[in-house]
């Protein structure tokens, strides 16, 4: 299963990801982006990869988490 992650130490809170997809992204109390939902639906993967590529500081990743 693939998981959406935002590196809080890298995020600058520009809001691009939230404006492009508020189903998956929201702001935390510090004004930084966090995943609203972590599990990546296959139907949404292409759009999310475009958002990953669009992040100006590279704070967003999609990681493959193997089930134990």
Determine the Cα–Cα distance for residues 63 and 60; give it in Å rounded to an integer.
Answer: 10
Q: How far apart are the first and last CA of the chain?
A: 11
Number of domains comprising the chain: 1
Average pLDDT over residues 20-37: 97
Domain range for 16: 2-64
CATH code, domain carrying 16: 3.30.70.20
Average pLDDT over residues 5-25: 98
Q: Is the dihedral of CA 20, 25, 26, 31 positive or negative?
A: negative
Q: How confident is the model over 31-65, as pLDDT tens digits?
A: 999 999 999 999 999 999 999 999 999 999 999 97
pLDDT reported for residue 67: 55
Say if pTM beats, i.e. exceeds, 0.75. yes
């Amino acid at each position: 299963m693939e998981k959406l992650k935002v590196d809080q130490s890298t995020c600058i809170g520009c809001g691009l990801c939230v404006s492009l997809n508020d189903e998956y992204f929201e702001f935390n109390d510090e004004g930084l982006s966090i995943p609203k939902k972590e599990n990546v639906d296959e139907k949404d993967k292409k759009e999310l990869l475009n958002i990953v590529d669009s992040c100006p500081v590279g704070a967003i990743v999609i990681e493959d988490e193997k089930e134990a």
